[in-house]
Amino acid sequence: MESTETRERPLRSDSRQSRLALLKAARELVAERGTDAVTVVAVAERAGLNRSTAYQHFQNREELIEAVAGQFSDEVHKLFLQPRDFGERVAFFVEYFSDHPDIARIWLFQILAGHSGIAPGWGDYVSYLDDLVQSPRSQDGIDAEMLGVIGMTSALVWSLMARQRSESEEQAREETQRFARELTRLFLYGAFRPESWPELAAEFERPSDKKSS
């Protein structure tokens, strides 16, 4: 006789796959048309599932959007744990958010809906900045949390602006690289001590500076 555990295992697996399919479909809709396009019915249709299955996972669009936001936070947390130099970290996340405009749209929706408005990976980000500003490599008196607001909000808003300003994916990529460079410059010369970051500072030297050194 087949055990209860054996009979239930495929059901649990199917349920997990259905949930992942719904979240993937929701993210696609947000990226394409914004949060207004997200309903449980629309997401079920995009995922190729029936409505009753979708409603077993999410009773309304708010639950669905909250789940997508949670998925974003988990992903950004894992990415933030990967070791990168400061300049590489800025460039990576600016490009990551630019490639995932659905993250910014969900974040803005939460703010406008009166939720916490905490950006994905916020805790990891502020903790990282706090360690930097407490070190001798930074200017005195820097507010890590407000510095984080400047960096995170500008990167997320840029992810929505990039394609609106550009006529092609190639142009959007080039402008995103320009944005990341100037954001790095603001950190380097506004919050850090450039002499403590010689390799990073060297990237912003003018040709005439390099010849005279």
Structural domains in the chain, sorted by start: 1-59 (1.10.10), 63-203 (1.10.357)
Q: Is the pTM of this model over 0.75?
A: yes
Give the pLDDT confidence score for residue 167 in this predicted structure. 83
CB atoms within 10 A of CB 141: 6
Give the pLDDT confidence score for residue 208 in this predicted structure. 55
**Each residue's pLDDT expressed in tens, for the chain with a length of 213 residues:** 444 444 444 445 688 899 999 999 999 998 888 888 889 999 999 999 999 999 999 999 888 888 988 888 888 999 998 999 999 999 999 999 999 888 888 888 888 877 666 778 888 999 999 999 999 999 999 999 999 999 999 999 999 898 788 888 899 899 999 999 999 999 999 999 999 999 999 999 865 555 555
Give the pLDDT confidence score for residue 211 in this predicted structure. 52
Three-class DSSP category at 209: helix
What letters, b where the CB count within 10 A reaches 16 and e where it falls short, cover 7-36? eeeeeeeeeeebbebbbebbbebbbeebbe
Give the pLDDT confidence score for residue 209 in this predicted structure. 55
Give the pLDDT confidence score for residue 138 in this predicted structure. 96
By C-alpha distance, which of 188, 192, 93 is closest to 139?
Answer: 192
Structure token pair of residue 56? 């077993």
CA–CA gap between residue 204 and residue 8 (Å, rounded): 60
Residue 72 class from Cβ within 10 Å (0-12 exposed, 13-18 middle, 19+ buried)?
buried
CA angle 84, 89, 94 (to 5 degrees): 155
Asked whether the beta carbons of 42 and 29 are under 8 A apart, the reply is yes
Give the pLDDT confidence score for residue 5 in this predicted structure. 42
Asked whether the beta carbons of 172 and 191 are under 8 A apart, the reply is no
CA–CA gap between residue 1 and residue 160 (Å, rounded): 57
